Structure 1
C-alpha cells in the first residue's frame, strides 16, 4: 500500500479552494481519497453544524469525480473548535496499491471502516464498545498492521439528541440515562468508542469492563484512541493509522501520550518516535482535556468552572498552543474531550512525518 498525506488550509467550513487546486493540478487523485480529517471553526459542541456543513460540502464536491456511493464511503472526521491559535484545515489521506518492483519499508499505512448505525440506547454503552472493537480489529487486519505498530485510531462517533429520545420508541435509558444531556452524551459516546479501541488492542479486557466503567473509571484508557462526537452521523467512522513493513509510503507515523495539557515533552517524543526532525512533520494530532481534578501541575485551574466557555474549548486552546509552539505551525489537529483517551487530564499525541 502507498499512502499519501496532504494538509490544506481552509478559509471557511465550505472552502475547498486548496482541494480544488490540488485535484485540478493532478497532485491529488480524488479516486484515491479514503479519509479526510478536518478542524472546523464551530464551537465543537452539540449545535456545531460546521462539522456537518463541511462534510456535506466535501461529499457533494467529491461525488462529481467518484460518484455518490464512493464519496459516501470516505471516512470524514470533522472536529469542531479552532480556539486560540488553531487554524482551520483539512488533512487528506489517499491510498493506492504499491507500484510493482518498488522497494518496501516500514512506513505509513491505514485502514478505514464504518460501523452500523447505533440506536440512542446503544450510544455510550457496552454494545458500542463491542461494535467498535470488532470494527477496529477488522480495519487493522485489512491494513496489515501489527497491533504494536498501530499509532493512532481516529473515530467520529454519534451523540444522542432530545429528538432522538422522543423518536426512538425502544429507548429505555439503560445505557445512557434519560437524565443525561445531549452534551453529556457526547462524552459517553467518545468514551465508549475509545474503550472499544482499548479492547481491540488489548489495553483493556472486555470481560473486565462493566457499563459503570464508561466515563467513570478513567484508569481504563487507550494510548492511541482519538474520538470525536457529532450530531451529523449515526454510526462510527474509523480511521486506523500505523506503520507496516510492506508500505511504499513516503510518510511514517509515531505517537506518545501527554500526561497533562502542558506536556510539551510528550509532543517532542512523538516527533522523535518517527525518526525524523520537526521540519519533516506534516501534521500533529492530539487530544485535549481539562483535568477533571481541577488542578494542572499542582495548580488550580478554572476551566471546569467557567459558565460562559465550555471546558473543552479552553483545553483545545491550551494544547493547541503547546503543540503549535513546538512545530511553529498553528495548522495542527487538536480535538477536545479525552474520555478514556490517555490518562486523566492528558491524551494521545500522534505525528505524521515525511521520510527522508
Structure 2
C-alpha cells in the first residue's frame, strides 16, 4: 500500500516554469511525481499547440529538478479553459513508504497505436490492457475502490489522415472535431468503453467497435477521456482509495443527472466516505452535450450552436467552480453525446482533504 498526495498549481503562460520551480523549492520531491493532470489554454482540439507546449515545459522543469532521479510520469492535460476555468496543473506524488490508506494512484502507458485503430477495436483493447496495468500499479484491483480513470489517447490530425490515405486505409472519421460525427467523439468513447469493460461496468463482449459512440446505454461512470495529436500512445491514470477509511486525502465520484445538477459534488463526498467538515482539494469532471434536446422538460438550442463544444466546457467549468469554490478544476468535454457517464449526464470526481486524517504529511503550499 502507498499514499498519494496532490498539489494544485496555477499556471501562467505555457512557457513559465516558475510555479513548479517554487513548488520544488518549498520541498516537493520531483522523484515522487507519478502523474500530472490539469487544464491549459488553447483550443482543446487534437492539434492544440498550447497544450503541447505546456507538456513540454512541465517535462523539462521536472527533468531539471530531478536530474538522474527523473521519474516516469503520466500526463493528462486537457486544452481549452473557457469561462471560469483557470489554467492549472495538479501534481500527484506517491510515497510508497506511507500507509495511511487514503488516496492511491496508478499509471500505465500503452505501446504506440496506429491512427487507423483509433476509435476502433484495437483502441478499446489497448485501453482495457492499460487500465489493468494501472490498477496493478496502484494496488487497486477492487474496482469499487476506483473513482476516476483519466485516459489520454492520440487524436487524428490532418497529417495522420493523409498518411492513412497514402496507405489505402481509412480513419474512423474525417471530421477531426467534436461534432456529431467527429473523430474525437469516437476516440474518446472507445477509451470510455475500454475503461468500462476493464472495471466490469459493462460486459467485455459489449466493448466492441460497433458500440462506440452508438449504444449510449453502455457507459462508464468513472472514465474521463480526451485525445491529443501530440501523443502516439495511450496514457492512463487511475485514482482511488487504498482502504475504506483513513488518509489525509480521499476521493469519491458521482455522475451529474443533467447539465443543471448541482448535487454531484456532495454525492461524491458520500462516495469518498468523507465527513462534512472535509474540504475540497481538487475536482474533476466532464461536460458533454446531452442526448436529448431538452433539459428538465424545456427545449434548448445548445446542439445547434457553432461553438457547442466551447459552451460545454464553459458550462461544466462554471458548474464545478460554483459547487467547489475554486476555478482550478479539471473539466474536459464538448463531445456531442458521450459514453462517459449516462446519456444526459457526466462523471464528476472530487479529492477531499480529511479533517482528521490517520496520518499527516507536510506538503508545499499551493499557488
Normalising by structure 2, what TM-score? 0.88
Q: Which residue of 2 aligns with 1:134?
A: 129
Question: What is the rounded CA distance, in whole Å, between the counterparts of 1:81 and 1:325 in structure 2?
Answer: 19
Q: Which residue of 2 aligns with 1:283?
A: 282
Q: In 2 relative to 1, CA 342–17 (structure 1 residues): closer, same or farther, beyond 3 Å?
A: same
Q: Which residue of 2 aligns with 1:107?
A: 102
What is the CA distance between 1:182 and its match in structure 2?
5.4
Per-residue Cα deviation, 1:171-225 (whole angstroms, up to 9, x for no partner):
622x714x44355221111111111100101112222343221111111100000
Q: CA RMSD in A?
A: 2.1
**Correspondence 1:1-356 to 2 at 5 A:** 1-26=2-27, 28-67=28-67, 70=70, 73-99=72-98, 104-145=99-140, 146-168=142-164, 169-170=166-167, 172-173=169-170, 176-177=172-173, 179-181=174-176, 183=178, 184-245=182-243, 249-274=247-272, 275-277=274-276, 280-307=279-306, 309=307, 311-337=308-334, 339-356=338-355
What is the CA distance between 1:251 and its match in structure 2?
0.8
Question: What is the rounded CA distance, in whole Å, between the counterparts of 1:278 and 1:191 in structure 2?
Answer: 36
> In the alignment, is the contact (CA less than 8 A) between 2:30 and 2:70 conserved in 1?
no
> In the alignment, is the contact (CA less than 8 A) between 1:7 and 1:283 conserved in 2?
yes
In the alignment, structure 1 segments of 5+ residues that lack a partner are: none
Per-residue Cα deviation, 1:291-339 (whole angstroms, up to 9, x for no partner):
13222222222222122x2x22111111211211122211111111462
Per-residue Cα deviation, 1:83-103 (whole angstroms, up to 9, x for no partner):
11111111000012125xxxx
What is the CA distance between 1:22 and its match in structure 2?
1.0
> In the alignment, is the contact (CA less than 8 A) between 2:113 and 2:233 conserved in 1?
yes
Q: Secondary structure at the match of 2:304?
A: coil
Question: What is the rounded CA distance, in whole Å, between the counterparts of 1:68 and 1:228 in structure 2?
Answer: 31
Question: What is the rounded CA distance, in whole Å, between the counterparts of 2:301 and 2:244 in structure 1?
Answer: 48
> In the alignment, is the contact (CA less than 8 A) between 1:158 and 1:186 conserved in 2?
no
Question: What is the rounded CA distance, in whole Å, between the counterparts of 2:132 and 2:118 in structure 1?
Answer: 20
What is the CA distance between 1:350 and its match in structure 2?
0.4
What is the CA distance between 1:277 and its match in structure 2?
3.3
Per-residue Cα deviation, 1:247-290 (whole angstroms, up to 9, x for no partner):
98421110111121111112221133331337611011011012
Q: In 2 relative to 1, CA 192–68 (structure 1 residues): closer, same or farther, beyond 3 Å?
A: farther
What is the CA distance between 1:4 and its match in structure 2?
0.9
Normalising by structure 1, what TM-score? 0.91
Q: Which residue of 1 aligns with 2:365?
A: none
What is the CA distance between 1:355 and its match in structure 2?
1.8
Q: Which residue of 1 aligns with 2:363?
A: none
What is the CA distance between 1:77 and its match in structure 2?
1.1
Q: In 2 relative to 1, CA 225–136 (structure 1 residues): closer, same or farther, beyond 3 Å?
A: same
Name which of structure 1's ranges 49-58 and 286-295 shifts more when overlaid on structure 2.
Answer: 286-295
Q: Secondary structure at the match of 1:196?
A: helix
Name which of structure 1's ranges 269-278 and 156-165 shifts more when overlaid on structure 2.
Answer: 269-278
> In the alignment, is the contact (CA less than 8 A) between 1:121 and 1:171 conserved in 2?
no
Question: What is the rounded CA distance, in whole Å, between the counterparts of 2:343 and 2:20 in structure 1?
Answer: 37
Question: What is the rounded CA distance, in whole Å, between the counterparts of 2:86 and 2:231 in structure 1?
Answer: 24
Question: What is the rounded CA distance, in whole Å, between the counterparts of 1:268 and 1:16 in structure 2?
Answer: 34
In the alignment, structure 2 segments of 5+ residues that lack a partner are: 356-367
